[in-house]
Structure 1
Amino acid sequence: MTLNYDAEQLLPIEQVFRDPVHDYIHIQHQLILDLIDTREFQRLRRIKQLGTSSFTFHGAEHSRFTHSLGVYEITRRICDKFARNYPEKKSGDGGWDDSERLVVLCAALLHDIGHGPYSHTFERIFKTDHEAITVEIILSHETEINKLLKAVASDFPAKVASVIQKTYPNPQVVQLISSQIDADRMDYLLRDAYFTGVNYGTFDLTRILRVIRPYSEGIAFQISGMHAVEDYIVSRYQMYMQIYFHPVSRSMEVILDHLLKRAKELYEDPEMHLHFQTDLLIPFFNQTATLEDYLKLDDGVLGTYFTLWREEKDAILSDLATRFLDRKPFKSVHFVDKQDQPILEKLTTLIQEAGYDTDYYTAVNNSYDLPYDFYRPNQLTNRTQIELMYPDGSFVELSKASEIVSSLAGKMRGDERFYFPKEFSKPKTMKEITLFEPIYQEFKQYIKNDAIIQPTKILEE
């Protein structure tokens, strides 16, 4: 089908989406409206933004769709401010070239188009890559998105894809979508804070949009707005520590990981077989999945399979499906370093003695994040550091101007946890008490206050 409209044309009257975070999402281009209406973009309505976090924070039911609209809206506002306050007057002067508006708006809208159901867990099991799939959706001649983008120009899909791949020649465009303070991060912090019901992720977006500005190497922030940027960094740190790395959310992710792994193992074993049909997952079990196969999946599809797997004859698959659907998280304890390894091995042995397959009922899970980083010559890869601009046009890197950010910069934050069945550490029913009592008494001596401890007798052994 050949599109016969001017893809850069503005709508006669802008359309809006009501949004709890940004009030209104303003749609001004016909192309943006048409991209939102595509099959590929509408699929994002059926994929949760925070995956298993909704098991911990019940309000976190928002979707990749709402987040993508939010990233678009922040980017649109920045473009408006750049065009009004910092327009390019001559080539190379560091000002904003508003002819870049459409490519950056499309990249903002489509940056998460390749995410699948429970994205990061799914990727680990089936070796997919949402960023690579995002690019494939944009470039594939089979997608509705590609057909729309080609209506702008034959090379326009490649331009949008290159922004997401961080190879687009204009660093201002790339940094608006992908940097240590970009439209993507600004939206998900505010949106995730709102839907999880916490205040950790809130920061002064209005002030940040007031002080953001383009320059020849990308984007910077006026020094007068340093405290707003500082607040953003701290908010991001708090969201990772309190929300994204929450032990219960990670527990449900561990169960999901083991559930999908078990299903894959059963499918591949000719003697075990899955009783219920899982047609939409077969290409992923076989590692023959196409883009079309991928686009058929969403949270609802996996949820339907999990419901069927409750009735599977395989006890492990049935139990894991039930634990996931009924929110029966594993328990976890924090451990410090390799000195705890002998105790981890002992705990695993005790769990195995109680009759559990430790491949599916234990896990070591680590979650770490770098709240902020700066350029270091000895590193192979570096994040784009945040630059503050003085009134005279000179720059200072954020952590050199802010003691708060300096205390967080360059340091990985997070923890490592050992997961095991909750009922194992806290037996409730008479059957559990009878089964676990001797093992439980030994097990609990290694754990205190949510952490592994070093009993004297272990040291003696």
Structure 2
Amino acid sequence: MAYKDEQLNEEKVFKDPVHRYIHVKDQVIWDLIAAPEFQRLRRIKQLGTTNLTFHGAEHSRFNHSLGVYEIVRRIITNFEDKPHWNKGERLLCLCAALLHDLGHGPFSHSFEKVFKLDHEYFTQQIIIGDTTIHKILERVSEGFSKKVADVIAKTYEDKLVVSLISSQIDADRMDYLQRDAYFTGVSYGHFDMERILRVMRPIDDQVVIKSSGMHAVEDYIMSRYQMYWQVYFHPVTRSAEVILSKILHRAKFLYEKNYSFKLEPIHFISFFKEKVDLTDYLKLDESIVFYYFQVWQEEDDAILSDLCERFMNRRLFKYVEFNPNRQMNEWMELYQLFQEAEIDPEYYLEVDSSSDLPYDFYRPGEEEERLPIHLLMPGGELKELSRHSDIVESISGKKRTDHKLYFPADFLANLNEESPVKERIMELLYHQGADK
């Protein structure tokens, strides 16, 4: 029997709080889960610093990756007797779903921004590089690892396969919305996934939804909208992300200035130099980063020490609403006042912006062309979702953006009460009222 067809002696199941059970029958999938590069995902949290806001959000990329695999497994099981579905793509879909987040680094997107990294690039490098994952995939067939990498890169020729992993209604989103809602304890991310899976239909280049399932899709889109603004963009979480990024920037700055660390940051050196190879990348996970942050609390550099102590003990920055279009003069004055107060504004004054586009129709030629969700009408024609749903039409193509100004309220409180600098800073910051 070929490796690609090899089945376990008995089906393995993972007990899962979201999907109840995750089913594994393929030897390939079982071997991929056991690979060191996949086990590393246990040490990367799904939601980065969100556990400092929602204390239950301790789940990992490992959990999520298994969940995406399970959703895709259910989808293609439903597709088996449908026209347009190529049964030969089954294992490719399962492998791509399982491995789609393989390249995430510690604290994911915050870490990427500081060091100018792309987790999708590293996902592809792990899949096609000198790794256990690559060796397993190549046992399926020569070049199979490249096919998996192409699906994740969205360049694979069968766009139907790509759409299962990456589209406006894909297995990735369907898992993380429910999983993140479960672990944060909020109700926003829940929707009727079973209904959506039942009304999904494969066509030549994408998955479409039977028109009778439109309301379940509306619920899914609104759930996503609420999760972004109530959980993913929560201002307290963003405060922690600001401090995290400032720690990494400060450590990089000190390294470049030949500062003598009490603990040499050997795991970060290639990141500081922006010459990261795959071996270095895979060695760094959140347990390593936390160790450095713990130790750096004792560094002689006051800024690095303070930022690490804040992060480790959840002494976060406060925030106020900020409009960069109308308040840049105030920002410039605050920057100067912080300098006069001997509070370094490079590390203690930050504008953070968040924006989201909950649903969009096709806009040819734009930077990110989003394939819309299509409804399959009773007569067989396709109709773009927002043309049939008043709810989705009301939010289509509308990007919402939010800006917050973050600062250390405790530092300001310690300034001399009679200082004109303190008085002016407080006037500029609190004229709209600081949030909690």
Q: TM-score, length-normalised on structure 2? A: 0.96
The answer for the alignment partner of 1:153 in structure 2 is 141
Unaligned runs of 5+ in 2: none
Verify the 8 A CA contact 1:236 1:371 in the aligned structure 2.
yes
Deviations 1:217-270 (A, max 9, x none): 311000000010001110101111111111111111110101011101111113
Counterpart in 1 of 2:386? 399
Per-residue CA deviations over 1:14-50 (Å, capped at 9, x if unaligned) read 1000000000000010100000000000000000000
Counterpart of 2:86 in structure 1 is 97
State the alpha-carbon separation in 1 of the partners of residues 364 and 207 from structure 2: 21
Query: Identity of paired residues, percent?
Result: 54
Distance 2:274 2:369 in 1: 33
Assess if the C-alpha contact under 8 Å between 1:335 and 1:451 holds in 2.
no
Encode CA deviations 1:184-217: one digit per residue, 9 max, x unaligned. Answer: 0000000000000001111110110111110123
Structure 2 equivalent of residue 8 of structure 1: 5
Q: Which residue of 2 aligns with 1:60?
A: 57
TM-score, normalised by the number of residues in structure 1: 0.91
1:181 to 156, 159, 169: 169
1:362-441 superposed matches below 5 A:
362-377=349-364, 379-424=366-411, 427=413, 432=414, 434=416, 438-441=420-423
Does 242-251 or 413-422 show the bigger shift?
413-422
- The answer as to whether partners of 1:329 and 1:422 remain within 8 angstroms in 2 is no
Q: How does 1:24-423 map to 2 (within 5 A)?
A: 24-84=21-81, 86=82, 88=83, 95-140=84-129, 142-270=130-258, 272-377=259-364, 379-423=366-410
Secondary structure of the residue aligned to 2:89 is helix
Deviates most, 161-170 or 62-71: 161-170
Three-state SS of the structure 2 residue aligned to 1:18 is: strand
Shift of 1:273: 2.5
SS of structure 2 residue aligned to 1:33: helix
Tell me the residue number matched to 1:456: none
| Secondary structure, counterpart of 2:267 in structure 1 | coil
User: When the two structures are aligned, how many residues end up with a matched partner?
Assistant: 434
Distance apart, 1:5 and its partner CA: 6.2
Q: Aligned equivalents of 2:250 and 2:5: distance in 1?
A: 49
* Cα distance change, pair 436–232 in 1 and its aligned pair in 2 (3 A): farther
Kept after mapping to 1: 8 A contact 2:318/2:434: no
Q: What's the offset of the Cα at 1:280?
A: 1.2
Contact 2:67 2:175 (C-alpha < 8 Å) held by counterparts: yes
Unaligned runs of 5+ in 1: 89-94, 453-461
> How many angstroms does 1:274 deviate by?
1.8
Mapped partners of 1:53, 1:221: distance in 2: 33
CA RMSD after TM alignment: 1.7
Q: Secondary structure at the match of 2:334?
A: helix
Structure 1 position 380, deviation (Å):
4.7
- AA aligned to 1:442 is R
Distance (Å, rounded) in 2 between the aligned partners of 1:433 and 1:260: 27
C-alpha contact 2:321 2:432 (8 A) present in aligned 1: no
Structure-2 separation of matches of 1:176 and 1:422: 46
Q: CA deviation at 1:353?
A: 2.4
C-alpha offsets along residues 65-95 of structure 1, whole Å, 9 cap, x if unaligned? 00000000000000000114x1x3xxxxxx2
Give 3-state SS (helix, strand or coil) of 1:238's partner.
Answer: helix
Report the Cα distance in structure 2 between the residues aligned to 1:177 and 1:436, rounded to whole angstroms: 59
Instruction: Indicate how the Cα distance of structure 1 residues 436 and 395 shifts in structure 2: closer, same or farther if over 3 A, else same.
Output: farther
